[in-house]
Copies of this chain bind each other. A is one copy, B any other.
């Protein structure tokens, strides 16, 4: 209670004044909200391949804040005729939805003045491989269902904490893509 007169500039590790200043900047210049993210993938062998993520365009310019690239391998496990050099591509979808909902939750909690103590989630996705194996035309290729289970502790009622997750869902980019789909265009230069 000794810091009651100290301006609170961060909560949950979120710089709240900067968060609101960013919102104000976008309100004043909506065009800076146009972002283009990128990834580059190189095949290595079999189902093993590697993605590099670094630059993106946003806020009116090319971002240069990442001094090193992020590098991620993907592969299949032996049971799917791979060599376990990385998770399967579909498991990265589970990471993406958990990470997006969790980041949003921390931001929304900070904006609402709620201090979080713990946020953990488990994600499960059910998939029937008869689809991708081409063995049953009635089975889809992708997940039949994805389930995300959150455990959240913080300085608010259980109802308020659950409402933070719900608001994060309503504003989640990954949730939107995974539930509503998006346009995916593929082109090939061969030879």
**Chain A contact residues: helix, strand, loop or mixed:** mixed
Query: Within the complex, which residue of B42, B76, B82, B120 is in contact with A120, where a contact is CB–CB below 8 Å?
Result: B42
Nearest Cβ on chain B to A50's Cβ, whole angstroms: 9
Q: List the B residue with the shortest CB-CB distance to A44.
A: B13
Residues of chain B contacted by A142 (CB below 8 angstroms): 173-177, 180, 182
Least CB distance from A119 to B in Å reads 4
B74 in contact with A95 (CB, 8 Å): yes
A96 and B93 contact, CB distance less than 8 A: yes
Decide if B86 touches A70 in the complex (CB within 8 Å).
yes
Do B184 and A99 touch (CB < 8 A)? no
**Count of chain copies:** 2
Contact A133 B53 (CB under 8 A): no
Please indicate the chain B residues that have their CB under 8 angstroms from the CB of A80 in the complex: 22, 58
A144 interface residue per 8 A CB criterion: yes
Instruction: State whether B19 touches A81 (Cβ < 8 A).
Output: yes
Question: Are the C-beta atoms of B96 and A46 separated by less than 8 Å?
Answer: no
How far apart sit A63 and B78, CA to CA, in the bound complex (Å)? 10
Q: Is the CB of A59 within 8 A of B42?
A: no
What distance in Å separates the Cβ of A176 from its nearest Cβ neighbour in chain B?
Answer: 3
Q: Is the Cβ of B41 less than 8 Å from the Cβ of A120?
A: yes
